């Protein structure tokens, strides 16, 4: 299936070739806990940015994660990050897309099952 997601103003439009995950992910790190997004994870080859007229990215600490957002309406859109294992290790090349599931069309992320990752202590 094709999943589409867009920011509030519509300047950012994203598509995923894949399914909704069984669970969304809520991360407890200092950034995610402030932003409040729920992530749906995908491989980079499943993910396409169709439009990104006001895209900006925020990077902190390691600078390895690009936290994209719409600079016009302020919505978090997606994060392009290393595909970390649960212990925080990384093979040095595999990436992961964390789509903000709250932006998915016709989908209520708050009603979906959620898994919590302990980003507060992992990074
Ligand atoms: Zn926007």
pLDDT at 85: 82
Kindly give, in sequence order, each residue whose CB lies less than 8 Å from that of residue 66, ignoring residues fewer than 6 positions away: 57, 58, 59, 79, 80, 81
Question: Are the C-beta atoms of residues 26 and 114 closer than 8 Å to each other?
Answer: yes
Question: Separation of 64 CA from ligand 1 center, angstroms?
Answer: 24
Q: Which domains does the chain have, with CATH numbers?
A: 2-122 (2.170.150.70)
Does residue 34 or residue 86 have the better pLDDT? 34
Average confidence (pLDDT) over 53-63: 92
Q: What's the whole-number average pLDDT of the chain?
A: 93
Question: Separation of 10 CA from ligand 1 center, angstroms?
Answer: 5
pLDDT at 59: 95
Provide the percentage of residues in the chain whose pLDDT is more than 90: 77
Distance in angstroms (rounded) separating the CA atoms of residues 123 and 121: 6
pLDDT at 118 over 80: no
Question: Separation of 105 CA from ligand 1 center, angstroms?
Answer: 14
pTM over 0.75: yes
């Amino acid at each position: 299936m094709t999943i589409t997601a867009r920011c509030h103003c519509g300047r950012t439009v994203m598509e995923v070739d894949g399914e909704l995950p069984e669970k969304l992910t809520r991360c407890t790190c200092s950034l995610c806990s402030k932003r409040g997004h729920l992530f749906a994870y995908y491989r980079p080859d499943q993910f396409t940015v169709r439009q990104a007229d006001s895209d900006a990215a925020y990077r902190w600490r390691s600078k390895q994660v690009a936290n994209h957002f719409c600079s016009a309406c302020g919505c978090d859109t997606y994060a392009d990050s290393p595909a970390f294992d649960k212990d925080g290790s990384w093979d040095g090349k595999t990436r992961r897309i964390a789509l903000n599931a709250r932006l998915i069309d016709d989908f209520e992320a708050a009603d979906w099952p959620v898994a919590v990752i302990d980003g507060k202590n992992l990074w």
